[in-house]
Structure 1
Amino acid sequence: MRRMRPLGEVPTRRERIVRAALVAGVIVLALLLLLATCGGPAAKTGSGREGKATTTTGTKATVPSASSAPRLPQLPVPATYDTARGWDIIDGSPGYAVAEDTGLVAYLDRTDDDRYLIRTVDPATGKPGWSGEPRRTLFPPDRFPRLLPVTTGDNREYFVTWSYGRINRGPGQPSDAIVSLDIYSATDGSARRVELPWADAPKVTTWGPGVLISDGKATSTVVDPVSGDVVSVPPGALGYPKGCTECRKLTQVRGTTDKGLLVSGAKEFWVRGGWYSRKVAPKDTDAASGVPASMAGGYILATWQKKKGAKDARTHEVWALHDAATGKAVLQVGCRKPAITPADEPQLVVSPKGDHLVAGRLAFDLAGKRAYCFEEEDGTRPLTLATVADDGTAYGARSARNAADALAGGGSAPVTVDLTTATPETLALNVRLPGAEIAGVGLFRWTDGRDRSHLTGYPHRDDWS
C-alpha cells in the first residue's frame, strides 16, 4: 500500500527525479498533440496547382516573410531590371497575355489531364488576381489552349482562350469539329463561351478589336468579345475594290478594324467598307504594290515597292506604318530587300502605352516621328527586335530568324536599342530578353533544369529605389 506523505515532509532525492521525468513526459506529449492538430509541415508556396504566384520581399509588394518566401530565380537579364525583387510562376502555360490598362498578366494552369483554368497576377506586386473556372480543352491533353488578349474600340480589355477539336453529340451521332472560345473580361474575370462549327484547322487572331477566325484565306468569322455575337463573312462579300485585279488573287482576311475587316490580295489591301491602299500609298512608292505584314495597337505594317525609275528600286523597298482607322501612312522607312524572302512576315509589337513599335529590323517612334531600319548598308547583320518598353528601349538579337528565335536566345548576340539615339548595344551572350513589359516590370519566360516552365517578373531598378 502506498504511504501518504504528511504535510511539510520533504520528498527524497529518488522521488524528485521520478517526478521531474513524469513532468517532462507530459510536456513532450502535449507538444506532439499540438503539432498533430496543426496539420504537419506548411505547404510550399510557388509549386503545385494553387498559390503559384510568389513574391520576394520588396518595398512595393505585399509579401510573405523572408523566411517563408521561396528564393527568386537569379537570371542574367539586362541591367535595367532588378533581379533581387520580383515574382515567379512555376508550371504555367507557355503563353501568357497582358492587359495594360487593367494592369494584369494572364496565364493558364492545369487542374488535371484535360482541364485548365485561367489565372491572373498583378505584375507590380506578384499578388494573384482573379481566376476562372476549370474548363476542358479540345486539344490533346499535352497541349494548353491558346491564350490571346483583345482590346475593343472603346478600350475594354479581354483575355481569350481557344481550342479546336471534335465533340461527340451522343450515341450514334457523328462528331462535330468546332472552335471553342472562352472570353474573359480582364477587369473582373466574367466569362462567356462561344462555340462554332469549323471544318478545318482554324487560324485565330486578335489583330484589332474583334476575335477573327479564318481558314488563312478568304473565309472568316468575327466574334464580338463584348456581346459574343458571331458574324460570318463569305468570300464573295469582302467588298473587292473596283479595278484591283490582284485583289482577287491569294485573297486573305488579315484582321479586324473599327471600320471593318482588313483584307489583302496578292498585291494591294483594303478595309471592307472603308479605305483602299491604292489611295493611301506612301510617298515615292508604287500605289498598286502594298502588302500588309501585321497589325497591332491600331496600326498596320505594310511593305511597298518603290516607284519605277527610282535609283534604288531594284535593291530597296519601303516599310510603312498605317493608321488602321484611316489608312494614312504615319511613318515610313526604306530597307534593303532580303536576298531570300523570309517565311514569316515581321510581327508588329507595340509598347504598353503605344508610343513605340518594333517589328524585326524595323522600329517606329511615334512621339519623335522617327522610323528606323536596323541593318548594315549591304543588308547584312540585321537586328530582330522583339520587345519595346515605354521609354523607347527595345530588345532583340542580331541575325535571329524571328522574334521568337531572338527571345529563345537565337541569333549571334542579344542587343538593346535606345530608340531616341538609335544606337544598338550588344549584350552578354547569356543575357535573357524580356518577352514583354507591363507596369515597369519585364516578363521573362524560361524552363529550368527539371523541365518546369517559369514566368518571372523583374521590376525596373528605378521603380524599386
Structure 2
Amino acid sequence: MTLVVGVIVLALLLLLATCGGKGATKAKAGPPVPQATGERVVRAPRLSVPAAYDTSRGWDIRDVSPEYAVAEATNRIAYLERAGTDRFRLRTLNPATGEHGWEGPPARPLSSGDRFPRLLSVAKDGQEYFVTWSYGKLDAQGLRAAESLVSLDVYDAASGSVKRVEVPWTDAPVVSADGPGILISDGKATSAVVDPETGDVVKVPPGALGYPKKCPACRKLTQVRAMTDKGLLVNGARGFWVRGGWYSGKTAPKDADPASGIPASVAGGYVLAKWQKKKSAKDVRTHELWALHDVATGKAVTQVRCRKPVIKPVDEPRLVTSPGGHFLIAGRLAFDIEEKKAYCFEEEDGTDPLILTTVSDDGTAYGAISVRGPADALAGGGTPVRVDMTNAAPAPMAATVRLPSAETMNVGLFRWTDAKDRPHLIGYPHRSEEE
C-alpha cells in the first residue's frame, strides 16, 4: 500500500511540474501563430459569368470587406470580416481549393467602428505580406496623448504572424504598396516608407526627393507617387523620376514632348505614363501617347496613341497585371510584354471606349463598352465583352454576364450582392481543356 501511494504522489508531482513548464514556455513565446482552420467555404451560387469559368465548382464567402488582397506565391487571398460591433478579423483562403487558411485576432481600427479597415498586399525579397490600415486618433484616456496616426497591422501571408506599426501623421494619408515597401504620403511631397519585414519607418522630407538638375519645374506641384524596387517614384510639373535613378526627360518615348510625362500607376515592375505629342505632330490637339516604362531603367517598352477624352477623368487608369505578368491592362489600354505590343480600345473618333477589368495568363481579357470606368463595368454597366489579346479582337457577350474583378491561381474572383443586400466574394475555377 505504501509503495502504491508513493507512486501516485510521484505521478502527481510530475504532472504538476509538466503543466508548470508548459505555462512558462507559452509566456516566453508570446501569442501563438494563427493556424489554418481547414474549414471549407460553402458552394457558390451559379451566376451568369464568362464561359471560361466553371460555376459548378465555385466557392462563396459573404458579408466580406469591399477590398481583398492576393498573395499569388503563397496561394492566399485575404479579406476582412466583422468580429463584433467595432472589431474586424483578417481571414485567408486558398482560392484553388476553397479552404480557409489562418485567421488573425480581432482588432479595432482607429477609424469609425462601422467602417472596414483598408486592405492591401506587398512583397519584399520573395516574402508576401497582407496589410490592414486605418487612420485616426488614439484614445485620449490611453497611455499616450491623443494624436493622429496611421495604424498598420502587417501579416506574414504564409504564417499569419503579425506586427503593429504606428506612424504619427497629421494630414489624411494616401497608403499604397506598389513596390517592396508600404508608402504613406500626404498626396504631395511628404512621405514615409514602412519596411514590411522589420516594421522600420523611414520618413522622407520634401527636400530629399532628389529633384533632377535639368528640371526646375519638377520642384512645383511635386507628388510622391509610388515606392519601387529602385526608390521613390516622384513627379513634378514637367516630369517624373525615380529618386537616385532615372529621369523621364531622358527616357521619353518616340514622338513625345520630353517635358510632358505624367505617371499614372505602377504594377508588375512597370510605370504607366501619359505623354503629350510633340508640338509639330499633326494630331497633337486630338491625341496623346501612353507608354509602359521599365521601372528599373525608365526605358519605354511599348507605347500606343489614344484620343484625348472630351472630359478629363478624375483618376488616371490603374495598371492590372495577369498573374504571370505577361499581359497588363489599364482602362482602355492593353499591353503584351513579350510581343512588345500596345492597344487602345476605342473607335477612331474616341467614342465607345472599351474599359478592361481583368486579364488572364492566356491573354483573355474582360471588360465593357460604354461605361465610365472599371467600377461601372464590374457593377454590370455597359455591354460586356471578351478580348483575345493575340488578335486584339473584342467579342460581345450576353448583357447578363458578370465580369471577374481579378484572376489568381487559375480562378476568377467575382463580386455579388444578394437579395438581402449582403456582399459576397465568389471564386470560379477555369474549365479544364477537356470540357
The TM-score with structure 1 as length reference comes to: 0.83
Cα offset for 1:448? 0.5
| Unaligned ranges ≥5, structure 1 | 1-49, 57-71
Cα offset for 1:282? 0.6
- Are residues 1:314 and 2:285 paired? yes
Cα distance change on mapping 1:137 and 1:309 into 2, 3 Å:
same
- Are residues 1:265 and 2:252 paired? no
Distance 1:169 1:186 in 2: 33
Match of 2:167 among 196, 201, 225: 196
Match of 1:86 among 49, 52, 58: 58
Aligned to 1:438: 408
Cα offset for 1:243? 2.3
1:169-318 maps to which residues of 2 (within 5 A)?
Answer: 169-170=140-141, 174-318=145-289
Aligned to 1:353: 324
Aligned to 2:72: 100
Distance 1:386 1:267 in 2: 30
Distance 2:103 2:434 in 1: 28
Distance 2:400 2:113 in 1: 33
Cα distance change on mapping 1:422 and 1:185 into 2, 3 Å:
same
Match of 1:331 among 285, 302, 312: 302
Q: Deviation digits for residues 206-255 of structure 1, max 9, x if unmatched?
A: 12111010111111011011111100001111111112122112110000
Q: CA RMSD in A?
A: 1.6
Cα distance change on mapping 1:93 and 1:51 into 2, 3 Å:
farther
Aligned to 1:39: none
Given that residues 130 and 154 in structure 2 are in contact (C-alpha distance below 8 angstroms), is that contact kept between their aligned partners in structure 1? yes
SS in structure 2 of the partner of residue 405 of structure 1 = helix
Given that residues 440 and 463 in structure 1 are in contact (C-alpha distance below 8 angstroms), is that contact kept between their aligned partners in structure 2? no
Cα distance change on mapping 1:323 and 1:144 into 2, 3 Å:
same
Match of 1:54 among 32, 41, 55: 41
Distance 1:204 1:173 in 2: 24
Aligned to 1:150: 122
SS in structure 1 of the partner of residue 290 of structure 2 = strand
Aligned to 1:137: 109
Given that residues 106 and 119 in structure 1 are in contact (C-alpha distance below 8 angstroms), is that contact kept between their aligned partners in structure 2? yes
Distance 2:348 2:40 in 1: 47
The structure with the larger Rg is 1
- Are residues 1:398 and 2:373 paired? no
Cα distance change on mapping 1:206 and 1:172 into 2, 3 Å:
closer
Given that residues 42 and 61 in structure 2 are in contact (C-alpha distance below 8 angstroms), is that contact kept between their aligned partners in structure 1? no
Name the count of aligned residue pairs. Answer: 399
Q: Deviation digits for residues 106-139 of structure 1, max 9, x if unmatched?
A: 1011110111111111111101111111111112
Distance 1:258 1:54 in 2: 37
Cα distance change on mapping 1:186 and 1:173 into 2, 3 Å:
closer
Match of 2:379 among 392, 395, 408: 408
Aligned to 1:3: none
SS in structure 2 of the partner of residue 236 of structure 1 = helix
Distance 1:258 1:464 in 2: 41
Cα offset for 1:90? 1.3
SS in structure 1 of the partner of residue 207 of structure 2 = helix
Given that residues 181 and 196 in structure 2 are in contact (C-alpha distance below 8 angstroms), is that contact kept between their aligned partners in structure 1? yes
Cα distance change on mapping 1:432 and 1:214 into 2, 3 Å:
same
Question: What is the aligned-residue identity percentage?
Answer: 66
* Partner AA of 1:319 in structure 2: W
Cα distance change on mapping 1:171 and 1:226 into 2, 3 Å:
closer
Cα distance change on mapping 1:171 and 1:438 into 2, 3 Å:
closer
Cα offset for 1:51? 8.6
